[in-house]
């Protein structure tokens, strides 16, 4: 913990030092007016003689007491797996932040006011309005692009700062707005899936996806990247985010796959899914069609990657294991601090967190650092500090600065699979996709994740 304090203290000194120059401005004369600034000489002309005097008004007090940060996220519904991770790491960070603030005599502490959106955009907006009514104008969470999209206009209109740990939709990258995101956009996901398709020799790719802001964004990006490398992408199957039964989608996918095999050959065909936890019902519906007999290439987006429900379902685990399905997921940068946080997450949840979950920790710390630099609870002031904080803050996810839209500039993807080890299905890392080179590489042997 001492290492963290030293790093944070140095960073705070740099950030706060940039904002003190106004205190040394010279005195000015303002006829016929009253000026309220420390040590300013004021000349006031009224009927009769001219009076010159020096006024010393109260200097505004910085942050004091309880500073409330909102947290809106899908803690139930389709985002529950990631929401649980993110709020767990956020609370770990909150404990560290408050310990630091207490030991340094900062005079204030941070509190999270948590609201569950149920992974429903209309509910997320209602929760944001409720927090706003409490006077809270800095709100983190926002694990899904759907929840975030439904609240951005309200946030911009009311100058509410939003910091998302998980949103990636391309169309939400807006320059100069009040939203910042700890993930790069889906453009990278499209490039990654195109790279994997080229590596696997796929010529025809069939998507099945969740029809929301995130799913649409991933598929659009994948189509664009595949077009650049000559891979044809089927019109695919788009389903409602509220669906719970998927027999029709499974039947349609089976038909599309069989048609493509007849045209291209099984080894040239691939399919990928973009889903949240409803993916469990989708895979179970597909089991009726003996999908292992397809003999095609299986890919996913990072939605189902490293999820418990994949390895805990004997039906799903066997299918994806035997199909040699590749599950990509954005990777944190390994560090001692990341390992320490992961140990604490595992103690609390019984599993480690992926990058989405770890971003909850970094959301809390970056907001704390920006608040320390701004020294006031003001969305515009904190917003102005965030780019500098991200330039300097390593965090548990790893260093990655913001682009001009307020999104992270890039992340590598781990390539994961499900393997049966001593009779138990486990998540293993098989390789990596590098966002800088767009190259796929494989480990000499699987590394067990959990």
Please count the CA atoms within 13 angstroms of the CA of 311 that sit on its side-chain side.
21
Q: Can you say whether residue 236 is alpha, beta or left, with left for phi > 0 and alpha for psi between -120 and 50 degrees? A: left
Residue 377, classed as helix, strand or coil, is coil
Q: Render 56-88 in DSSP notation, one character per residue.
A: -PPPPP---EEEEEEEEE-SSGGGHHHHHHHHH
Identify the CA nearest to 79 among candidates 44, 110, 121, 46. Answer: 121
Half-sphere exposure of residue 293, counting CA atoms within 13 Å on the CB side?
Answer: 7
- Distance, CA of 67 to CA of 107 (rounded, Å): 10
Residue 399's pLDDT is what?
86
pLDDT tens, the chain, 450 aa long: 433 433 344 344 434 333 332 223 333 333 343 333 333 333 444 445 555 554 444 444 589 999 999 999 999 999 999 999 999 999 999 999 999 999 999 999 999 999 999 999 999 999 999 999 999 999 999 999 999 999 999 999 999 999 999 999 999 999 999 999 999 999 999 999 999 999 999 999 999 999 999 999 999 999 999 999 999 999 999 999 999 999 999 999 999 999 999 999 999 999 999 999 999 999 999 999 999 999 999 999 999 999 999 999 999 999 999 999 999 999 998 899 999 999 999 999 999 999 999 999 999 999 999 999 999 999 999 999 999 999 989 899 988 888 999 998 888 999 999 999 999 999 999 999 999 899 999 999 999 998
Answer for the pair 152, 172: CB distance below 8 angstroms, yes or no.
Answer: yes
pLDDT given for residue 409 in this prediction: 84
Cβ atoms of 191 and 410 within 8 Å: the answer is no
Query: 177, 152 in Cβ contact below 8 A?
Result: yes
As beta bridge partners, residue 233 has 205
Please calculate the CA angle 309-71-2 and round it to the nearest 5 degrees.
90
In angstroms, the first-to-last Cα distance of the chain is 27
Give this prediction's pTM: 0.79
CA 36 – CA 46 distance, rounded (Å): 18
pLDDT score at 246: 98
Cα 148 to Cα 156: distance, rounded to the nearest angstrom: 12
Instruction: Walk me through the domains of the chain, giving residue ranges and CATH numbers.
Output: 65-184+333-392 (3.40.50.2300)
């Amino acid at each position: 913990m001492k290492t963290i304090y030293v790093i944070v203290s140095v960073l705070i000194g740099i950030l706060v030092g940039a904002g003190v120059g106004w205190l040394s401005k010279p005195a000015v004369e303002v006829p016929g007016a009253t000026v309220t600034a420390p040590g300013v000489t004021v000349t006031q002309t009224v009927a009769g003689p001219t009076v010159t005097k020096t006024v010393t008004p109260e200097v505004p007090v910085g942050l004091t007491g309880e500073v409330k940060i909102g947290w809106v996220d899908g803690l139930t519904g389709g985002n529950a797996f990631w929401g649980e991770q993110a709020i767990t790491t956020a609370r770990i960070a909150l404990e560290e932040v408050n310990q630091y603030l207490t030991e340094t005599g900062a005079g204030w502490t941070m509190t999270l006011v948590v609201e569950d959106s149920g992974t429903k955009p209309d509910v997320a907006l209602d929760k944001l309005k409720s927090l706003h009514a409490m006077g809270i104008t800095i709100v983190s969470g926002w694990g899904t692009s759907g929840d975030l999209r439904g609240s951005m206009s309200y946030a911009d209109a009311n100058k509410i700062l939003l910091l998302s740990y998980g949103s990636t939709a391309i169309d939400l990258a807006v320059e100069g707005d009040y939203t910042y995101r700890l993930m790069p956009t889906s453009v990278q996901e499209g490039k990654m899936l195109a790279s994997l398709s080229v590596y696997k020799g796929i010529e025809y790719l069939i998507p099945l996806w969740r029809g929301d802001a995130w799913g649409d964004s991933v598929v659009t990006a994948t189509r664009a990247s595949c077009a650049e490398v000559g891979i044809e992408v089927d019109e695919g199957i788009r389903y409602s985010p509220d669906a719970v039964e998927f027999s029709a989608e499974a039947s349609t996918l089976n038909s599309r796959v069989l048609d493509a095999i007849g045209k291209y050959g099984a080894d040239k065909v691939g399919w990928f899914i973009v889903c949240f936890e409803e993916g469990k019902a989708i895979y179970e519906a597909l089991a009726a069609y003996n999908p292992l007999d397809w003999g095609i290439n299986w890919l996913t987006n990072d939605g189902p990657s490293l999820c418990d429900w994949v390895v805990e379902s004997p039906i799903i685990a066997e299918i994806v294991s035997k199909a040699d399905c590749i599950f990509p997921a954005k990777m944190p940068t390994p560090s001692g601090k990341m390992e320490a946080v992961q140990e604490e997450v595992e103690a609390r949840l019984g599993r480690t967190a992926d990058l989405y979950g770890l971003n909850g920790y970094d959301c809390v710390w970056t907001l704390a650092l920006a608040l320390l630099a701004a020294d006031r609870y003001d969305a515009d002031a904190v917003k102005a500090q965030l780019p500098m904080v991200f330039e300097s803050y390593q965090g548990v996810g790893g260093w990655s600065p913001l682009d001009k839209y307020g999104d992270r500039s890039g992340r590598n993807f781990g390539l994961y699979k499900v393997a049966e080890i001593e009779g138990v299905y486990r998540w293993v890392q098989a390789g990596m996709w590098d966002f800088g080179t767009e190259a796929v590489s494989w480990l000499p042997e699987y590394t067990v994740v959990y």
